[in-house]
Structure 1
């Protein structure tokens, strides 16, 4: 029995050794596999974190570029806006400088001749006009010596900057009709049109004349002779100016003023004159 028991013990010991060895191998293999899986997962996590960090850096860089582009676009938009405003001002200034104000109409009712056919006098009718051509004053009728009619005026021209921005009071040249006379008369013998110190009808914007307008016309010759004082009012030039034309019976003439200055008298197709309420003759 002794040898058999010893053999059984040896076999059992061997089997236990094999089992323990297998268990150790299994545990070692499991630990190795577990370690490898943990390391692989950790490495994948680090890789993902690194890729995420790189993506975040790229995103930050793109956002910075986008912000820089947006600022550049905003700057360009501001430049375009300023350029467009300048173009608009220049276009406005150009259009205003070319704009004619129709200020008055002169209708020639009759030209009287002597037996030799020489013009002795003419009967004319003068009426101030609104920009749309509608009469804004009562027609005045005059008998003028000869057939060449002169209209004497005071003209005020303002600095271009006021014209460019269409200033309410200085956005256009202004004209005051002083008197009308013929070539056979002296200006002093002519007939008054607008009263000095009063607002010309063409520029009436209300019942009350502004202080600016009062100074403009009451101190006209002071501005004409004092450049410093004129500059303080934005006045480029103040001077008298007369237009004249040899009239034809039955014709009508428009008296116009360009915003930049310059008075003209031009024939127009004759329209039926307004009924005169103020008759003046020699």
Structure 2
């Protein structure tokens, strides 16, 4: 009987030690992710480049289609995977979204004070019932430019689900005393031979600048 009690006590102590160890490891991992998330929010702007890669006339629809290449840079200034979009016109608009993390009710909320996420959210062309829209940054997901290295993390995803809730739900934001997310959607005429630089400014404004490509590039196909 005494042996059984001793075994039971040792087993209980071992089980408690295991749960304590697992909890400590989990806490350390969450804090490591939290630090990386906050580090990615230090940047006060985001940039992307746009280039017209194709202009084609469709005999059937009698419309001219413009294809553009969209290259976004992450918070460290590194190029992300390019995206291509095609529209039945060339007056194209970009929609940005700035999520400000002040007063969001999450753990360690004080560490997010003054931090913001700058997202290229959508790209579209207004054409009445034929308006075409593409999503650059899917909602309710961790934006690729802010994702912590090392794959998907439940804690990181929960953080961003919370952020998206306040950004897209004005009522929830108002109840918590949070500033509404700022949305901008300027556009311009996109033509071949021009490099367009799109920048989300610190104050949330979205600016589109254009620069003619160098004449040396005309007619050349540059190897990737």
Measure the CA separation in 2 of the matches of 1:265 and 1:151.
9
* CA contact 1:255–1:264 (8 Å) conserved in 2: yes
- 1:107-126 equivalences under 5 Å are 107-112=51-56, 120-126=64-70
Measure the CA separation in 2 of the matches of 1:240 and 1:275.
37
For the aligned residue pairs, the C-alpha RMSD in angstroms reads 3.8
- 1:132-151 equivalences under 5 Å are 133-136=77-80, 138-151=81-94
Q: Which runs of 5+ in 1 are unaligned?
A: 1-98, 161-166, 277-282
Structure 1 residues 144 and 213: alpha-carbon distance in aligned structure 2, compared to 1, 3 A threshold: same
**Any runs of at least 4 consecutive aligned residues in structure 1 with deviations exceeding 6 A, and if so which?**
271-276
Instruction: Count the aligned residue pairs.
Output: 165
- 1:190-229 equivalences under 5 Å are 190-206=133-149, 207=151, 208=153, 209-222=156-169, 224-229=170-175
| CA deviation after TM superposition for structure 1 residue 124, in Å | 0.2
TM-score of the aligned structures, taking structure 1 as reference length: 0.47
* CA contact 1:252–1:269 (8 Å) conserved in 2: yes
Which residue pairs with 1:154 in the alignment?
Answer: 97
Measure the CA separation in 2 of the matches of 1:228 and 1:147.
38
Spell out, residue by residue over 1:242-267, the C-alpha distance to the aligned partner (whole angstroms, 9 max, x if none): 12111121222222122232222222
Q: Secondary structure at the match of 2:164?
A: helix
| CA deviation after TM superposition for structure 1 residue 227, in Å | 4.2
1:174 equivalent in alignment to 2:117? yes
Answer with 1 or 2: which has the greater Rg. Answer: 1
Structure 1 residues 268 and 153: alpha-carbon distance in aligned structure 2, compared to 1, 3 A threshold: same
Q: Secondary structure at the match of 2:179?
A: strand
The equivalent position to 2:72 in structure 1, one of 128, 132, 140, is 128
Structure 1 residues 107 and 100: alpha-carbon distance in aligned structure 2, compared to 1, 3 A threshold: farther
TM-score of the aligned structures, taking structure 2 as reference length: 0.58
Q: Which runs of 5+ in 2 are unaligned?
A: 1-42, 104-109
